[in-house]
């Protein structure tokens, strides 16, 4: 099983932590880099091949991961000479990818079963399968709807429930065959293009542990709770760290 990890972003929202380290190497619990946790999880779930898409401070990622052998993985790299967003890096390596593969961001902490997601995608026949997470947001204000200057409805401090992308998805090589190499292309553009073509992606609902390390407050939360979730996130036999 093959996974492409997007690890080339500059991590602007996580500065100053990412001024000297790429976001996937930022330490969690002062013990493990985010990327190390992800790689150990993937190996534990039966993945054998990882392609790391790198750019910002990519040499540090190469130095840390190497050929992947210490994680029980075969790791290769694709390096952007210009930003290609979250899907664009795949276009130039189509010939290196299997029929179905996993794509994920390099800053995700989750106990999602990556292998089951990929197997579900391969069985579905969908062009893209997106792992989704249920979010609940309480609005601290009375919410109004208007038609012109007339209020047509009112809800006092409503609670909204919606599904968000976890930044992990199953993808098929045929799905990206139509796009030109070197074209910057984002996940959002891919989803909208598929919808416009009448080729809807599938959803893979997940309600376990998930944290996207995108903002300083997310990083602080990951460090606060890491001691409690370490055994859930790391496979048995992962090296103990103080």
Q: How many domains does the chain have?
A: 1
In a domain, 144, yes or no: no
In a domain, 147, yes or no: no
124: containing domain? 2-132+164-233
Q: What token pair was written down for 1?
A: 């099983």
How far apart (Å, rounded) are the C-alpha atoms in residues 222 and 29?
A: 8
The CATH number that applies at residue 57 is 3.90.550.10
pLDDT digits (tens, 9 = 90+) for 104-153: 998 899 999 999 999 999 999 999 999 999 988 888 999 999 998 889 99
Q: Which residues contact 207 (CB under 8 A, 6 or more apart)?
A: 133, 134
Query: What does the pLDDT read at residue 192?
Result: 97
Q: Which residues of the chain have pLDDT under 70?
A: 8-20, 236-242
Strands 74-79 and 100-105: unpaired
Query: What does the pLDDT read at residue 200?
Result: 96
- The residue among 153, 133, 135 whose CA lies nearest residue 143 is 153
In a domain, 94, yes or no: yes
In a domain, 151, yes or no: no
In a domain, 141, yes or no: no
- The residue among 82, 53, 81 whose CA lies nearest residue 65 is 53
Query: What does the pLDDT read at residue 242?
Result: 54
- The residue among 26, 23, 29 whose CA lies nearest residue 223 is 29
Query: What does the pLDDT read at residue 55?
Result: 82
In a domain, 140, yes or no: no
In a domain, 228, yes or no: yes
Helix or strand or coil: residue 77?
strand
In a domain, 154, yes or no: no
């Amino acid at each position: 099983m093959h996974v492409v990890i997007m690890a080339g972003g500059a991590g602007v929202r996580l500065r100053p932590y990412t001024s000297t380290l790429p976001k996937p190497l930022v330490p969690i619990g002062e013990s493990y880099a985010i990327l190390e946790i992800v790689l150990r999880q993937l190996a534990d779930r039966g993945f054998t091949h990882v392609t790391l898409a790198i750019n910002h401070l990519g040499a540090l990622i190469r130095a840390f991961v190497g050929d992947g052998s210490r994680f029980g993985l075969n790791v290769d790299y694709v390096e952007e000479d210009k930003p290609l967003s979250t899907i664009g890096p795949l276009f130039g390596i189509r010939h290196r990818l299997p029929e179905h593969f996993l794509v994920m961001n390099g800053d995700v902490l989750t106990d999602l079963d990556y292998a089951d997601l990929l197997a579900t995608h391969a069985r579905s026949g969908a062009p893209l399968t997106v792992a989704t997470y249920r979010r609940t947001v309480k609005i601290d204000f009375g919410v109004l709807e208007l038609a012109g200057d007339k209020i047509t409805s009112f809800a006092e401090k409503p609670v909204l429930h919606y599904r968000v992308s976890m930044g992990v998805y199953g993808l098929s090589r045929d799905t990206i065959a139509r796009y030109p190499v070197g074209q910057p292309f984002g996940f959002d553009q891919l989803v909208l293009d598929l919808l416009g073509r009448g080729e809807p992606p599938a959803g893979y609902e997940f309600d376990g542990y998930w944290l996207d390390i995108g903002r300083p407050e997310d990083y602080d939360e990951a460090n606060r709770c890491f001691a409690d979730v370490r055994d859930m996130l790391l496979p048995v036999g992962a090296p103990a760290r103080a």
